[in-house]
Every structure is written in structure tokens, then in C-alpha cells.
Amino acid sequence: MSVNGWLQFAIYCVVLLATVRPVGIYMARVLEGERTWLDPIFRPIERLLYKLCGVNAKAEMNWRQYAFAMLGFSAVSMLLTYAIERLQAFLPFNPQHLPNVATDLAWNTAASFTTNTNWQFYTPETTMSYLTEMAGLAIHNFFSAAVGIVVAVALVRGIKRTSSATIGNFWVDTTRSLLYILLPASIIYALLLVAQGVPQNFHAYTVAHPLEQPTQIQTIGQGPVASQESIKMLGTNGGGFFNANSAHPYENPTPFSNFIQILSIFIIPAGLTYTLGRMTGSQGHGWAVLAAMFVLFAAGFTALYWAEAHPHPLIHGAQQTATSTAPGGNMEGKEVRNGIAESALFATITTDASCGAVNGMHDSFTPLGGLVPLTNIMLGEVIFGGVGAGLYGILIFVVQAVFIAGLMVGRTPEYLGKKIESYDVKMSMLYVLIFPLVILSLTAFFVLSPTIGLSSLANQGPHGLTEILYAFTSGAGNNGSAFAGLSPNWWYNIAMGWDMLIGRFLMMLPVLALAGNLAQKKSVPPSPGTFPVDTPLFTVLLVGVVLILGALTFFPALSLGPILEHLLLQSGKLF
């Protein structure tokens, strides 16, 4: 660990915190349908879009209609992606003449991008045409981010509204999220990335004649990278244009591009906590939620940075500690320009949020270094979390926290003026339980099968278990990062497709049901027995609930994976 490494972390935190309020206010204005400074450009496009799609922008929806529209849109757009993948050989923007994508991989990938996961069981350079990347995959980087935002906003409206049957209009919320938040930010961001060196073209791959051996040709993958890279990060999607993702110098060429990438992962989820405070009229609550996220984020970074800066115990004769001109530490799977600190920071942030882009290979992290990203996802993707998904996820834990506080004092719990009753707690418990159920049962199934499960492993011993556990955790958490040694087969493609769809849509339904139920309640004035949700005590309770639920569920599996691997490695055991 170095002073400069910690300085980079400090700068990151300061810049992020400075964005929270302006971003939060702007998003609240967009989502409440108020005027923004982008109205002159986007308001006419917005109206045209409603007209072309037959949307009645004035109609309000109850939670069932809202959920049905969300599911309908997701299903149709997923089908479009599947069709483009299966037909790409016959479609334009395919200068490498790549063949159609196989059925099981096309299913897995369509599910992956629709669910904001962006798990990739393929090498993009040799699998996906430019058209598939743009109109099949990158559109979901926009769509799934917008869907995350609108579900979160529907829940916030549920908290805010009283005696209301409705929670907003799905099409209006989605359109406004796309046009006023995601698209303009992506345009500026993409051009910033090109300025740093990210390519943006439709050329066929370049044939280069290397300096030392000009006859040994190097074929260089190209494409419209920057336009996809921006929304990939901003929408916490994480699906790389290239196989190496943000470790690839074409996706992430400089330390500055790396900095804006990690900033763009957290910027919307962090801003949404302010939006929550603003829309519910309790700004202190927004900050208290943000504080809980920040504590968990800082703890994760500290552990990961510490683990990766350590020398390997069984390697001798190499400079493995930091000097002023080399970062030392565990550099397997990491890039020199990022070093240890920026790699550790990226890995923490990408798994705190459900982004899943990587700038270093998690599979080659030290056992404890790899434990941190896995744990981050297992905690439910609520440490800032995915765009929108992080906010509704943490609000589920808030309901749990308020419920537990209510049990302690023996009163009906209240949350921002709403009584939290049996139905609300049931819905939030459903959300909490679906997640480990799908992860642990699928992991168990594949671990027990030598032919379809274990044959895909790249590493043996406890690390092999971690590869499978990480895959299903990443899928259900809609993260998409990987212990990428795991290679696909038909069974993994199909099972992970369901893993991701369940982790997304089955978990969104209780959220919308909760939103609908809260919206129709009357507001009760706070009493002396009300547990305040804008205090440091509340932050501590919330962190405690997240940690205890996560630890109780996943600790046994973690102890057999990364923890056991660490102990064996320290005693000199290799596999």
C-alpha cells in the first residue's frame, strides 16, 4: 500500500461526494416531470416518442400495470436482442463476417444484458458484430439502467404518496430517464473517452506488421467502442466491447479514463440517495442511507487494497513490494498503468455497484482479495448498487431495519410516516430470500456434477468452488463480473440465464408490490416512539442489518471457498 494509493482513494471520495447533491436534484426534477435545462433539445423528442409509441403521458398506473409494462418492455427488447444475435451474419455492420450466435449463448447473452448483468460467456471480438454490439447489447445498457431507475422511483413515490392507487407511468418515467439522464451524459462521456484514446469506428480489424517480426501479423480488433463504453459504465452494466473489458487499453487507455469510469459507476446510484431525500422531504434520511453505503464501500476497499498489495508467499527473487517506480504486490491480471490501488478501487466499486466491468482479473486476485468482490455482491448489491437497483435494494433493507427497531421497542414500525405492516415485511423478506435461494441451490447443483459443473473449472481446490459460487452470485446479483476462468457449456448458459432473470425480475415484483401497498396508505404523524431514520444510529443499524443478513446466509460457503484457500496458501499448499 502506498500514500499515493490512499490519496487516489481520498480524491475519489471527495469528487463523488461533490456530485451527489447536483446530480440528485437534477434527477429528482427529471423524474418529477419538472422543467430542466435540456428541455429545449429533448422535450420535442420526448413528445415525438410518446406519439410514435402511442403513450398517453397523462395516464397513471397502479403497481400491477407498472410491473406489467416493465415486464412487457423487457421481454420484447430481450427478444429483439436474441433475434439480432441469431441473424447477425445476414445483417449490416459486420465487417469481420462473424457467424450467427449459437442458441444457448444467444439466450444467455440476451438474458444477461436485459437484466443489467452483462455476464459474458463469449469473446466479443470474435463473436459479436458491430450491429449486435450497438443495437443488440448496448441498447440494453440504456434500457436496463432506465428500468432500474424507474422501479426505484416507483418505490420512492410509494413512500411519498398517500391514499394513492397509482405509482406513476412506466413509459414516461423510462423515456425521461433515457432522454434527460442517460443519453446526454453518455454523449459527453463517450467523447471524453475518445479524447483519452478509446476507438470509435466501423472499420474492419486492422492488420499490423509488428516492429520486430513484421511477418507475424497482429490483427487488431476495432469498433464503435467509446459510445458503448460510456453507457456500459454509467448504467452499471459492465459488458465489455472486448474480452478483457476495462483492462483492455482500448476500453480504458489511461489512469484518467479509469478515474472517470469508476466515478461514473457510482454517480447515479449516489445521486439517487439525494433524490430519495428530496422526493420524500427528508434529506437527512438520504444522507443517512448514503453514509451506510459509504462505510461498507470504504471497508471493502481497505481490505481489497491491503490483500492485493501483499507479496505472494511462495514466489522468491522478485520485487513484490512497492517502490517509487513500481507498484509491486499481486500484478497477475492487472495493468501497469492502474497498478494495485486503482485496480483495487475499481474491483471494489464495480462489485459494490452491480456494474461488473473489470480492469483486472478477479480470478487471479489473492484469496482474500477475491473474497471482497464476492462479498460485495452477496450483500445484495446495495453498497451504492446498480443504477436504481441499488436504491430499491437498500430500501428493502431499510424496511427490515425499521421493522427490527420496531420489534425492539414493541411498537408497529413506521417509515417516513407510513406504518410498516405484515404485507410490507413479507414483500421485503421475499426480496431478501429469493436471492440466496437461487444462488446457493444452483451452485450446489453444479458443484455436485463432475461432468457439467466441475469440467468447466480453470482452477482446482477451494478456488474451483469459488469460481462456480462467484458465477451464480454475480448472475443473480446482476453484477456480471466473473472469476473468468470458468468456461461455458450448454448447462451453464441455460442455468445462468435463469439465474439472472430471477435475480432481476422476480426480485423487482415484490419491490413494486411494496410500492403499491405503501402508496395507498395514509400518513401517520411521527410520535415519540417513531424510530428516526436520519441519524447516525440509523446508519449503524442499517449497516448491521445488511452485514448480518449477508453473513448468516453466505458465510458457510465463503469459508469453504476463499477463506479456506487463503489458509491453505499461507501454509504452502497449491493446487
Partner 1 sequence: MHSATHPAASAHSEHSVWLTSIRFTLVTTVLLGLAYPIAITGIAHLIFPRKAAGSLIHQNGQVIGSELLAQSFTTDRYFHPRPSAAGNGYDATSSGGSNLAQSNKALVDRIQGSINTLATENPSTPVPIDLVTTSGSGLDPDITPDAAYFQVPRIAKARKLSETSVHQLVDAHITPRQLGVLGEPRVNVLRLNLDLDKLSK
* Diameter of the chain measured on Cα atoms: 81
Q: Could you say whether residue 202 binds partner 1 (CB under 8 A)?
A: yes
Among 18, 41, 89, 314, contact with partner 1 (rule: CB under 8 A) = 314
Q: Could you say whether residue 548 binds partner 1 (CB under 8 A)?
A: no
* Backbone angles phi and psi of 73, in degrees to 5: -60, -45
Considering only residues 317 through 336, tell me which ones interact with partner 1, judged by CB under 8 A: 317-320, 323, 325-336
Which CB sits closer to partner 1, 4 or 535? 4
Distance CA 172, CA 55 (A): 8
**Sequence-distant (≥ 6) Cβ neighbours of residue 266 within 8 angstroms:** 16, 349, 352, 353, 384
Q: Where are the beta strands (DSSP E) in 332-471?
A: 414-415, 418-419
CB of 404 to partner 1, least distance (A): 30
Which CB sits closer to partner 1, 175 or 273? 175
Which CB sits closer to partner 1, 50 or 491? 50
CB-neighbour burial class of residue 25 (10 A; exposed 0-12, middle 13-18, buried 19+): middle
Q: Could you say whether residue 99 binds partner 1 (CB under 8 A)?
A: no
Residues 131, 91 contacting (CB under 8 angstroms): yes
CB of 372 to partner 1, least distance (A): 14
H or E element at residue 244 = none
Considering only residues 409 through 448, tell me which ones interact with partner 1, judged by CB under 8 A: none
Residues 533, 288 contacting (CB under 8 angstroms): yes
**Sequence-distant (≥ 6) Cβ neighbours of residue 86 within 8 angstroms:** 100, 101, 103, 106
DSSP state of 246: G
Among 95, 249, 283, 447, contact with partner 1 (rule: CB under 8 A) = 249
Q: Could you say whether residue 571 binds partner 1 (CB under 8 A)?
A: no
Q: Could you say whether residue 187 binds partner 1 (CB under 8 A)?
A: yes
Residues 242, 198 contacting (CB under 8 angstroms): no
Considering only residues 71 through 90, tell me which ones interact with partner 1, judged by CB under 8 A: 72-73, 75-77, 80
Q: Could you say whether residue 208 binds partner 1 (CB under 8 A)?
A: yes
Q: Could you say whether residue 254 binds partner 1 (CB under 8 A)?
A: yes
**Sequence-distant (≥ 6) Cβ neighbours of residue 575 within 8 angstroms:** 459, 460, 461, 463, 464
Q: Could you say whether residue 207 binds partner 1 (CB under 8 A)?
A: yes
Considering only residues 494 through 523, tell me which ones interact with partner 1, judged by CB under 8 A: 519-520
Q: Could you say whether residue 475 binds partner 1 (CB under 8 A)?
A: no
H or E element at residue 207 = strand 206-208
Distance CA 477, CA 475 (A): 5
From the list 307-315, 447-455, 489-497, 545-553, the region that binds partner 1 by CB under 8 A is 307-315
Q: Taking Cα atoms as reference points, which of 67, 86, 44, 267 lies closest to residue 175?
A: 44
DSSP state of 382: T
Question: What Cα–Cα distance (Å) separates residue 541 from each residue in 65, 67, 282, 288, 535?
Answer: 34, 31, 18, 11, 10
Which CB sits closer to partner 1, 328 or 386? 328
Q: Could you say whether residue 4 binds partner 1 (CB under 8 A)?
A: yes
Q: Taking Cα atoms as reference points, which of 96, 89, 92, 121 lies closest to residue 106?
A: 121
Q: Could you say whether residue 115 binds partner 1 (CB under 8 A)?
A: no
Considering only residues 21 through 60, tell me which ones interact with partner 1, judged by CB under 8 A: 45, 49, 52-56, 59-60
Binding letters toward partner 1, positions 221-240, x by CB under 8 A:
xx-x-xxx------------
Which CB sits closer to partner 1, 10 or 409? 10
Among 238, 300, 339, 388, contact with partner 1 (rule: CB under 8 A) = 339
Considering only residues 346 through 385, tell me which ones interact with partner 1, judged by CB under 8 A: 358-361, 363-367
Residues 122, 106 contacting (CB under 8 angstroms): no
CB of 250 to partner 1, least distance (A): 6
What the block records as the C-alpha cell of 320 is 513484490
Q: Could you say whether residue 527 binds partner 1 (CB under 8 A)?
A: no
Among 88, 109, 129, 186, contact with partner 1 (rule: CB under 8 A) = 186
Q: Could you say whether residue 250 binds partner 1 (CB under 8 A)?
A: yes
**Sequence-distant (≥ 6) Cβ neighbours of residue 171 within 8 angstroms:** 50, 53, 55, 57, 69
Which CB sits closer to partner 1, 383 or 514? 514
What the block records as the C-alpha cell of 223 is 469498433
Binding letters toward partner 1, positions 453-472, x by CB under 8 A:
-----xxxxxx---------
Q: Could you say whether residue 243 binds partner 1 (CB under 8 A)?
A: yes
How many residues make contact with partner 1 (CB under 8 A)? 142
CB of 381 to partner 1, least distance (A): 23
Q: Could you say whether residue 201 binds partner 1 (CB under 8 A)?
A: yes
Q: Where are the beta strands (DSSP E) in 261-316?
A: none
H or E element at residue 193 = helix 183-196
From the list 30-38, 198-206, 426-434, 534-542, the region that binds partner 1 by CB under 8 A is 198-206
